Structure 1
């Protein structure tokens, strides 16, 4: 059996039996968290630009743009909704053996294609679980960064499968959809280095365009190369990976959605432990910013490399700020929180944060490297002007599967994200709709509630 056949076998047989209750519970949690990010992200500059570009195309369809009332084509809805979700840097993360990715980026696909195909709520929830499982298996099996490609490239593999399931494609059509999509569209890692731009938010939505179009083409009989994945010139070989690793991942029928990190703080996953530890020290020792002489952060290589990159020491925009360990620790120590409000342009440029950042150092601690990716270790030492040093090590930040976010905390996070744009009645109605999605004949009731502008 070829790799493509193994993937098709997994996708076509997915959910043939009833999904476990705990798996569906996790899917509803991830959906609520992601919708909160989408609602909050609606007002951001990147989101506004994406919506206006979509509106300018004047392309009517069946898929909802969250916040707006005019439906559009599913590919375009994925652009608008995907950017709104990703620009927050508050959406979830799966850290696989080969690196991290954000599986919630497939949720706009499940919603848009569910609306397009007239799928039931249960079918949409199942598609969300499938998307998470495919993303997780990619992250456990393939690494692209050494060859200059970004993890959002997973979308060209995941999206055609999810879209194809919702369209009801047969095995041959699914194979063609995946083959077409995987023949085109890897994302280069240039967009994730140095000072970051809005492109970070658009990368997965663009792969969604490729994947959805591939599924729609396959539905009409369009064919793709059978060796697109594991052929000599296929995706796996051209990115220096082993097709056997991905094939083995699809022989494992366990569910990985429960290993997803739901973020407590608005920042990159690799900075979550450092922020949490710094805030705990500050609160427990009642330290004010003026009391702090220095902050020393020791962390694993990937966190030091990304969060401590010199170009992000004094960030100029949100995309760089939420990936700057210097900034998120500094603003957290001053404000006592690292939430959406800490990334307004005036806050990023504020003098108090820029005065504290030079007192923060970030070091690579090789002894912590072995814990990543299954843990997110950081050691924070804060020395006061009185000469006292307070230290705290944290391996599993709040929201990590080994330190999971409670239902109450998740509900509170959702409230913080949506309360500025909707009244309590609509907010509660969305919570209730997510909780009962698998009993609904379609997604219409939920999507209508998300048209709040």
Structure 2
């Protein structure tokens, strides 16, 4: 047998040896910003029907009261990971990472890493460092091992990141980290049908489910269960079965990928952000009445077209409920033009089914452009043409938006979004949560989770 370490063992050594000094000041601030953004999004989602249903399921199933649920109560680390992850993900308003052939949401790792850190009574630095590891693993695997084109979901790479981050947060040695990552990576390879065709609640729950599995894998490793050490390169491993050959020299990896993630300005699928911003700018500039619009023509990059524009992942003009609406460029552009924003209220059932928006979205046409596609993911280039009933054409072109890598969101911008999403909880508590996150490297994780335990949402206020 060869003494050469497998890829998962090399990853585990790197994750184990990583320390706080490896993080740049920019990365530290980005991590705090992603936590603030995701906690705000989770609070804003607590009245969402699927989130409330999962809360009921969690309470009915019970479980040892070990880890905090956002909004109060405690349960086991894996159940808490699923519930908190569902809250972070439900609105589809958390961060994104754009690789050339894969887009993921690395802040989905906050739920498992936070659960692991609270369970281990870790301090804030330990939590942020473990979260940086989770970000790095998921993002780098998205770079070199995209799976969407093979029919698998971006949660595949997330299983490795969630387990690596959770295992590090629990203070595992290298062997235990390797086992946790190997078990999670082997066990959670979700199908892309999650996000194609007629969409369901599962679109927002696939990663929380993977993260719950990664948390479970981490606990198995804690209790001495081993996993297949050739999960990446072995016979019928990730390379052989799904992704094809790739290499990562984990020894040389840094912890900076979090600084390449982007924040959503609008409550809309990430690839829509520049086109929504552009249409709103055109709307404000020209003041054209909706009833005077003959057509809205969007030319964009191929990933946006294929996922949300009516390309390879299905038509986007039959819109009946939230999961279809927030993955439809025609709907989101129509909502932006009519309402001047795309926020959670644009996905209320009454808004989705109203005649004005259903009529306008039928006038939106989307097509891909090779030149714009070549500029992705460094840009999110697009062009919008608005034609009026009398034949006039108005245009705007965009390459990015406020929140993209070229225009990163400041703490003040993140706070404005956070405040809008947390307006239905006690304002003093919301402020204390934000300040604790901003100072997370100087406090214990329990200082944050104790505050999350106190959250109470007004039940009569919808998202």
1:37/1:91 contact within 8 Å kept = yes
**Residue correspondence of structure 1 range 74-113 to structure 2 within 5 A:** 74-113=77-116
Query: Which of these residues, 436, 441, 445, is aligned with residue 438 of structure 1?
Result: 441
SS at match of 1:61: coil
Flag as ranges the 4+ runs of structure 1 deviating above 4 A.
none
Cα gap change, 1:306 to 1:250, in 2 (>3 Å) = farther
TM-superposed deviation, 1:110:
1.6
Contact 1:111 / 1:124 at 8 angstroms: preserved in 2?
A: yes
Equivalence for 1:375: 379
**Equivalent residues in 2 for 1:207-218, closer than 5 Å:** 207-218=210-221
Give structure 2 stretches of 5+ with no counterpart. Answer: 457-463
Shift of 1:314: 2.8
Q: Write out per-residue CA displacement over residues 267-313 of structure 1, whole angstroms, 9 at most, x where no aligned residue.
A: 11111111111110000112221232211100111211221225321
In the alignment of these two chains, the number of paired residues is 449
1:300 aligns with 301
Out of 407, 421, 427, which is 1:424 matched to? 427
Equivalent pair of 2:379/2:400 in contact (CA under 8 Å): yes
Matches within 5 A, 1:98-247: 98-244=101-247, 247=248
Aligned to 1:283, the other structure's residue is in SS state helix
Partner of 1:66: helix, strand, or coil? coil
- Secondary structure of the residue aligned to 2:445 is coil
Deviations 1:355-390 (A, max 9, x none): 111221111222211011222121111122343221
Q: What's 2:282 paired with?
A: 281
SS in 1 for 2:403: coil
What is the rounded CA distance, in whole Å, between the counterparts of 1:249 and 1:371 in structure 2? 28
408, 415, 419: which one aligns with 2:419: 415
Please tell me whether the aligned partners of residues 22 and 255 of structure 2 are also in contact (alpha carbons under 8 angstroms): no
Are residue 14 (structure 1) and residue 15 (structure 2) matched?
Answer: no
TM-score where L is the length of structure 1:
0.95
2:362 aligned residue: 358
Q: By how many angstroms is 1:101 displaced?
A: 0.2
- Distance, in Å, in 1 between the alignment partners of 2:450 and 2:348 is 28
Aligned counterparts, 1:20-35, within 5 A: 20-35=24-39
Runs (5+) with no aligned partner, structure 1 = none
Distance 2:133 2:33 in 1: 15
CA contact (8 A) 1:115 1:444 kept: no
Bigger mean CA offset, 380-389 vs 337-346: 380-389
Decide whether the 8 Å contact of 1:3 with 1:243 is kept in 2: no
Matched-pair contact (CA < 8 Å) for 2:14–2:250: no
Q: Aligned-pair distance for 1:443?
A: 2.5
Give the root-mean-square deviation of aligned CA atoms: 1.6
Report the more deviating stretch, 442-451 or 277-286.
442-451
Cα offsets for 1:292-344 (capped at 9, x unmatched): 22111001112112212253213111111001000000011000111111111
34-43 vs 372-381, which moves further: 372-381
Query: 1:187 is paired with a residue of what secondary structure?
Result: coil
CA distance in 2, matches of 1:254, 1:213: 25
Deviations 1:89-128 (A, max 9, x none): 1110011233110000000112111111111111112122
Report the 3-state secondary structure (helix = DSSP H, G, I; strand = E; otherwise coil) of the residue aligned with 1:379: strand
Deviations along 1:397-447, whole A, 9 cap, x unmatched?
22101122233221111111110x213211211111111111113323444
CA distance in 1, matches of 2:441, 2:257: 20
Alpha-carbon separation, structure 1, partners of 2:89 and 2:63: 23
Contact 2:23 2:256 in 1 (8 A): no
**Taking structure 1 as reference, are residues 250 and 349 closer, same or farther at Cα in structure 2, changes over 3 Å only?**
farther
Secondary structure, aligned partner of 1:338: coil
* SS of equivalent to 2:122: coil
Provide TM-score, normalisation by structure 2: 0.93
Q: 1:231 to 1:41 in 2, by over 3 A?
A: same
The Cα shift of 1:18 comes to 5.4
- Between 1:403-412 and 1:145-154, the stretch displaced more is 403-412
1:144 to 1:18, Cα distance in 2 relative to 1, 3 A: closer
